[in-house]
Amino acid sequence: MLSAVDHYDAPEPAYRRYLHDLEVTGFAGDIDDSYGGRLIAATDNSVYQKTPQAVLYPRTTKDLQTALTLAQQQAYLQLQFSPRGGGTGTNGQSLSHGVIIDLSRYFTEVLETDHEQGWVRCQTGVIKDQLNDVVRSGGWFFSPDLSTSNRATIGGMINTDASGQGSLVYGKTSDHILRLQAVLINGEVIETGPVSLTEAKQKATAESLEGSLYRQALASCVGKRAQIEAKFPALNRFLTGYDLKHCYDPVGETLDLSRLLAGSEGTLAFITEAKLNLTRTPQHKVLVNISYRDFDAALRHAPVLVRAQATSVETIDNTVLDLARNDIIWHSVQAHLSEGKADQPMDGINMVEFTAVDEAEIEAKLSQLVNTLDTELAGGDYQHGVVGYKVCRDAHSISMIYAMRKKAVGLLGAVQGERKPIAFAEDTAVPPESLADFITEFRQLLDQHDLQYGMFGHVDAGVLHVRPALDMKQPDDEKLLRQVSDEVAQLTAKYGGLMWGEHGKGYRSEYAPTFFGPELYSEIQKIKAAFDPDNRLNPGKLATPYAHPTAELVSVDDRKRGYYDRQISASVRKGYAPAMNCNGNGLCFNYAKDSPMCPSYKVSGDRRHSPKGRATLIREWLRLTGEQGLDVSQPVTAKFALFKELKGRHNGRDFNHQVKESMDACLACKACASQCPVKVDVPSFRAKFLQRYYQLYRRPLRDHLVATVEKTAPLMAKAPRTSNLLTHNAVSQWLFQRILGYVDTPKLSVPSLAKRWHNQGWQSQSVTELLTSPPSEIARKVVLVQDPFTSFYQAETVEAMGKVIRGLGYEPILLEFIGNGKGQHVKGFLKQFSATATTVTKQLNRLADAGYKMLGMDASTVLCMRDEYHQYANEAVRFEVELPQEWLQEQQEQLARLPVSPTSPALTTQAQLFLHCTEQTALPTSGKLWQQIFEQVSLPVAVIATGCCGMAGTYGHEKEQQQNSAKLFEMSWAEPIAASEQALVSGFSCRCQVQRFAQQPATKKLQQVKHPVQLLAELLG
């Protein structure tokens, strides 16, 4: 098929010998020099791409010391090392052609908390939201906020000195550092924190590397104090890296090397532990969402809001608002935003947050702001451009509004067209009072280049995120990135600010010498030389070592992802758009266990098994395929097959198999298709890859079993008892596991659905028979479109739906089974799937044209019809099959009139609803719909937040996935399902998974979990 190109294939290169020696020295961590593993570390959330030599995942500080100590040997002095955390940097901070050391996999422990004094000690691979989950019970939180808080690591926050919303009150990460533990380039471990000048001078006398650090810090930070005070602007978001100004505290006469490490982007040391101070969690919070006629009005109104002494003032422009309006998150926030009036629509928002421990303090500030806004609106002339406002006090609603704001970063990457808003000059900081004028000129600058852009940010701190839309596949746009970067640097200088107010320097480091000036920049270089004299730690970022003869800073012109993407033909890029659109935002690394996003990454911790990882691997697979002269947008040819035996030049490992391994771990749940801001739909390109792969390599027999289940299941269901005896005896089950690799396969329903339907006296008809019905009868008929899962393996749910339909006064009609093809798509039988989709579409189109209402019981198959059918059916899809809750919500009046016994046992027990992960992400209102439906029969239902149950179709039955399947169930479902007295589970695979684990004592009472429709049928008698 193709081979992986190895950029480091010189005969026995030093890094290869190093990796071998490291492995035999007792290094207990993971060493990954596979091409796929290196590709995962080649990108972050920036436009740049650098393929490293290898990625190390140390388990302990001792491992890290071992790696760096070994690298001090003469044979390995040429090797360079760069730390990596969450990979969320927007400026390529962690990218390098050297050896990456990733602390996010194992340095994940919260080591110590003190709820009385308000501090925490943790390893630096801990994720920010994870840390807050640990300290929340004590009434504390780690306050620096950022949009990537569910995946950004503490180490990454320290290395970029991250801040975000509320920084005027809460400060930056460096303001919360009490002590750090770090490993220096020679393997020496140091502890940093405030020490008296006397102690600092004493430490400076030592002949160790640490001693040289104190000598240089005293010379630069104390000796050059006057020059530092004169040069550094008084900005809340002023980030230098190597913070000369705050390393020395002249009031307390202390020196703190932590201030040099904070913001240093891994160029000085590897930070392994941090002791951080915490902030009391505000008990009271109010958010005022103010709408404006345009974005300029929102910016110019900001000083009024800042004077209201708010905790934070956030802003969003009309571009981001429009993107949010078209995203699934909008339904959860729309009610809390004032859309303005017909003649003054909302084209900008300021979100003003007040937080306090004392509620009275908030109310006084809020009252003053509301009076000001009411006065402006009463004038009738829309003074300051305000067109409306809403006050939000509900904590959950406030969090949802901020979720929209946080998602705005990723949403910008979802715009149509080849030009996408990208990060490169997008975290400028100027004095807040100058922000509106600065942005006016910034807009003029972008307009001159005919660039589209979106804006959002922290107007209270003078920081605005501006992301111009460029196509990095185009050389002219690459040049434009350089031109705009230069112009923005000049513009920020004009307004007394700087172009890196929040996200660090990275590949913008080339502007540092100009900004700091020769004298202070040389001091920064001396600090770099003290820590890293040979320029081996993340070289080229922030500063080069003083007097180093060859060291150079990186440049904004460095190699970008677009360089590789342009090598893929336009037709191929179009066919694989769900992978090509990945912009690296990393939302798929979401820490939250109850988030449905990418269960395979959650359970493995391997970023190859994430949507971003899979998109990265597929992009390179497409590039290498094209490099071999093969066009995957065309049918497979003999020429293509000739490459079957090609092995990668990287240790003889076939890159095809590396990509396949990543795809095999995907559960095909499609959460990524809706949860990812740019809709990186892994199952769509996974199916295409599998189709190609298996035209060159032998398919496992079980894939054919899945692809043909829609033919075999109906035949077996004609005699379900006999079929179950044949398939579920000890010998058959052994063969299933041994030959097919399948375990715990479900049994056919007894009696069958056909038998149940007949016993109820209901009709089962074909499409042709239905089309003979008189038009007057069609409105009273509801057609149940069968799927191969509920119909043959959980027929009781379909029967229950029929009872509900009948109870509501309609006639339930069971459509003769015609298939769906979901399994064919999942396993990459795309030719067969296209045929199935076309056949089904033609049939259901006829029913839709006749006016039939159609329902389907299984979310995964119904949603396949709404998505994949549009891509693969050779017939326009005009029909719609609804899910039960979608139809039932139209019948709420009828439901409310139906008699329900008040003494029904079901009404006396609280019900909990567990949603199928595909359903809850593709149809985010499903939980609310079910709640509204059950309200009509006086039964409150709680929607339980969960991730994936771990079954996901055939995944949970595959022998090699058993451990991960069980882990996923334990991670998100086991505890809430065990606590449930009446569990309603909407997904077929989810019910199978619960029943599989029902033999465990904790969940044994839930052997017969129900579909919500089954409970509804019971209540309606």
SS3 sequence of 613-649: HHHHHHHHHHHHHHHCCCCCCCCCCHHHHHHHHCCCC
- Least confident segment among 636-645, 783-792, 886-895, 950-959: 636-645
Backbone angles phi, psi at 455, to 5 degrees: -135, 140
Question: Which contiguous run of DSSP H or E holds residue 830?
Answer: helix 830-850
More confident residue, 892 or 164: 892
Q: What is the mean pLDDT of residues 494-500?
A: 88
Digit-coded pLDDT (tens) for 809-847: 999 999 999 999 999 999 999 999 999 999 999 999 999
Mean pLDDT across 733-762: 94
- What would the pLDDT profile of 562-581 be if each residue is shown by its tens digit? 999 999 999 999 999 999 99
Kindly list the distances between the CA atom of residue 579 and the CA atoms of 613, 615, 621, 684, in Å, as whole numbers in the listed order: 10, 5, 11, 9
5 — pLDDT class (breaks 50, 70, 90): very low
Q: Please write down the HEC assignment for all residues of 669-713.
A: CCHHHHHCCCCCCHHHHHHHHHHHHCCCCCCCHHHHHHHCHHHHH
pLDDT band at 525 (very low <50, low <70, confident <90, very high): very high
Instruction: Report yes or no: 704 and 607 within 8 Å, Cβ to Cβ.
Output: no
Contact status, residue 410 vs residue 329, Cβ threshold 8 Å: no
pLDDT at position 647 is 39
| C-beta contacts of 189-192 below 8 A and 24+ residues apart | 189/61, 189/65, 190/257, 190/269, 192/256, 192/257, 192/258, 192/261
Using CA atoms, how far apart are residues 956 and 963, in angstroms rounded to an integer? 9
Is the model's pLDDT at 642 over the cut of 70? Answer: no
The whole-number average pLDDT for the span 743-751 is 94
* Average pLDDT for 414-437: 85
Strand 195-196 with 254-255, pairing: antiparallel
How far is the C-alpha of 279 from the C-alpha of 131, rounded, in Å? 13
Structure tokens at 251: 């009031």
DSSP bridge partners of 732: none
Q: Minimum mean pLDDT among 380-384, 578-582, 937-941, 965-969: which range?
A: 380-384
Mean pLDDT of 973-997: 93
Counted residue by residue, the chain has a size of: 1021
Contact assessment for residue 1004 and residue 998, using Cβ atoms and an 8 Å cutoff: yes
Rounded Cα–Cα distance for residues 275 and 24 (Å): 33
639 vs 991 pLDDT, higher one: 991
Q: What is the DSSP letter of 874?
A: S
Q: What is the pLDDT of residue 456?
A: 83
Query: Tell me, what's the pLDDT at 848?
Result: 97
pLDDT at 908 over 80: no
CB-based burial label for 901 (10 Å; 0-12, 13-18, 19+): exposed
Separation in Å, CA 643 to CA 268, 329, 635, 656: 45, 45, 15, 11
Tokens of 792: 């043959």
**Is pLDDT larger for residue 368 or for residue 9?**
368
Does residue 103 contact residue 86 with C-beta atoms inside 8 Å?
no
pLDDT above 90 (res 106)? yes
Which pLDDT score, from 0 to 100, does residue 237 have?
59
Averaged pLDDT, 949-965: 93
pLDDT at position 461: 83
Strand positions, DSSP E, 683-836: 763-765, 781-784, 811-815
Cα torsion for 347, 348, 351, 352, to the nearest 10°? -120
pLDDT of residue 1 exceeding 90: no
* Res 488 pLDDT > 90: yes
Phi/psi class of residue 561: alpha, beta or left (left: φ > 0; alpha: ψ in -120 to 50)? alpha
What is the rounded average pLDDT of the residues 995-1017?
Answer: 75
Q: In the predicted model, what is the mean pLDDT of residues 676-703?
A: 92
Share of the chain above pLDDT 90, in %: 69
Mean pLDDT across the stretch 960-969? 95
Q: Give the tens place of pLDDT for each residue, 144-200.
A: 988 889 999 999 999 999 988 888 788 899 999 999 999 999 999 999 999 999 999
At 213, the amino acid letter reads L
CA 692 from chain center: how many Å? 28
Express as a percent the part of the chain with pLDDT over 70: 93
Give the rounded distance of the alpha carbon of 390 from its chain centre.
29
- Structural contact between residues 617 and 659, judged by C-beta atoms closer than 8 angstroms: yes
- Side-chain half-sphere exposure of 679, counting CA atoms within 13 A: 15
Which 3 state secondary structure label does DSSP give 560?
strand
Average pLDDT, the chain: 90
Average pLDDT of the residues in 5-20: 71
Q: Is the pLDDT of residue 11 over 70?
A: no
- Per-residue model confidence (pLDDT) at position 413: 66
Handedness of CA 794, 923, 914, 821 (dihedral sign): positive
pLDDT in tens, 585-637: 899 999 888 888 999 999 999 999 999 999 999 999 999 999 988 888 887 65
Give the separation between CA 912 and CA 939, rounded to whole angstroms: 11
* Displacement of CA 933 from its chain's centroid (Å): 32
More confident residue, 311 or 128: 128
Strand, helix or coil at 236? coil
User: Per-residue confidence at 808, pLDDT binned at 50, 70, 90?
Assistant: very high
Look at residue 957 and tell me whether its pLDDT is greater than 90. Answer: yes
Q: pTM here?
A: 0.91
DSSP label at residue 218: I
Task: Report phi then psi at 70, rounded to 5.
Answer: -60, -35
- Model pLDDT, residue 377: 83
Q: Taking 80 as the threshold, does the pLDDT of residue 328 lie above it?
A: no
* Residue among 401, 386, 394 nearest 286 (CA): 394
- According to DSSP, the residues that pair with 196 across neighbouring strands are 254
* Of 289 and 183, the one with more pLDDT: 183
Interstrand relation of 312-317 and 453-458 (parallel, antiparallel or unpaired): antiparallel
User: Could you read off the pLDDT of 207-254 as tens digits, one per residue?
Assistant: 999 999 999 999 999 999 999 988 876 666 566 689 999 999 999 999
CB 492, CB 428: distance < 8 Å: yes
Residue 637: what pLDDT? 57
